Structures are given as structure tokens and as C-alpha cells.
Amino acid sequence: MKKITLILGLVVGTYTAQAQLEKGSLLLSGDIGFNSSTGKMEITSGGNTVTQADPKFTDFNLNLQGGYFVADNFAVGLGIGYGLSKITEDGDDFLDEISTGIFAINPFARYYIPYTNKFAFFAQLDLGIGFGSTKTESRMGNTTITDEGSVNVFGIGVSPGFTYFLTESIGLDLRVGFLGYNSASTSFESNNSTTTNSISGTGVNIGLNSLTFGLSVFLD
């Protein structure tokens, strides 16, 4: 009797999870992130420390996504997001600040693998296109130099995660890591000339700084 009850429980649990993710349903999700950390930098000459700074890194991001299940367990959609980052280096006699704000458009595809009535694993493919502005301010004594420029970013990659269903229509999401390609470029204009810096790379990012928490709502 216990075996029959267990089997029925597994069947019902699987059916419930699949019903939440069936074709024709809508997916609304969002996540918000904040990170702040500090470091230490010293520049020495001849065995003596001549410059000391304590870099501080602050990041904030907000992302909203809407999708449609074109097949059971498979949703495609579009997301928008905004990210703000700031790097501050406070030295003995100087202060450097770099502030960057980026607005992003993010088409995505997410495939779920239901596990129980409470858990489902997923993999999400993201294509991100972003643009924004950056500002660099350097203070040395009574002198301040300010540079403003534009930023363009592009990325494509896959991130794994899972959803914990609080109810049949509300779930908590956790995404871990990123595998893919990213590129970014900044452009500064001064004295009728343009200076452009670019960086790109392909790789894997897995760690505590790559965790993303979010909330999903599933609508019939």
C-alpha cells in the first residue's frame, strides 16, 4: 500500500509541474541584484609604498522578462534590463571614480526539466545587446579631470538554474554561472578625436558572484 501511495504521489507531482509549464502558458519573470566589495591596492618603489588605494566595486542590476511557452517546458521571450556599476579608488592624495549605466534588450529561450511538483531544472539561452554611458572622474589635489563616453555591449550564452515552486503559479528562480561570449567597447571624444577601447572573451563564469535570484509567475 505504501508503495502504491508513493507511486501515485510521484505521478501527481510530475503532472503538476508539467501543467505549470505546458504549451500556451505565459512566463513573467524578474530579478534584481546588488553587489558591493572592497579591495586593497599598493604601489611601491624602492621598497617603499608611495601610493595606496582601497578600490570599492558596486553593482546594481534589474531585469524583467516576458515569455510564451511554444511547446511544453519550452518558452521564448524578450527581456529588458538596466545595470549600474561604480568603481572608486580612494588613495592618499587622489580619488578616481568610474560610473557606468547600461540599458539592455535581451531575447531569450528557456527549457525546463521538471523534477518534482516543487522543483524544475532549466537552461536559458540569452542574447544581450546593451548601450549606455560611462563617466570617469579623477581628482589629484585641487585638480579634477572628467571624461564622458558611450558604451556598447554584446553577449550570447547559456546559464543553468532551477525553479522552486511556491505555488502552482509562482516560483523562485536561481541561476548559476554563464557559458558564452561577451564583448564591450567604450568611446571617448575629446579635441575632435575619438578614443575607443574594446574587450571581448569567451569563457565560463561560475562562483558566488555569478548567482542570480529571481521570481517567476506562470499564467494559463
Give residue 74's pLDDT. Answer: 96
Q: What is the Cα–Cα distance from 167 to 144, expressed in whole angstroms?
A: 55
Q: What is the Cα–Cα distance from 215 to 220, expressed in whole angstroms?
A: 17
Give residue 72's pLDDT. Answer: 94
* Residue at grid coordinates 542574447: 127
Q: Other CB atoms closer than 10 Å to residue 195's CB: what's the count? A: 11
**pTM listed for this prediction:** 0.74
Tens-binned pLDDT, residue by residue, of the chain (220 aa)? 444 443 334 334 444 455 579 999 999 999 887 777 776 665 665 666 555 666 788 888 889 999 999 999 999 999 999 999 888 877 666 677 888 999 999 999 999 999 988 899 999 999 999 999 988 888 777 777 877 888 999 999 999 999 999 988 999 999 887 888 988 888 877 666 667 777 777 766 655 556 788 999 999 8
Range of the domain at 110: 2-219
CATH number reported for the structural domain that contains residue 145 in this entry: 2.40.160
Asked if 101 contacts 84 with a C-beta cutoff of 8 angstroms, the reply is yes
The SS3 of residue 18 is helix
* Residue at grid coordinates 564622458: 148
Give residue 49's pLDDT. Answer: 58
Q: Other CB atoms closer than 10 Å to residue 174's CB: what's the count? A: 14
Q: Calculate the alpha carbon distances from 111 to 15, 95, 191 in Å.
A: 17, 46, 50
Give residue 15's pLDDT. Answer: 42
Asked if 17 contacts 114 with a C-beta cutoff of 8 angstroms, the reply is yes
Q: Which residues contact 38 (CB under 8 A, 6 or more apart)?
A: 54, 55, 56, 57
Q: How many structural domains compose the chain?
A: 1
> Phi first, then psi: what are they for 15, rounded to 5°?
-60, -40
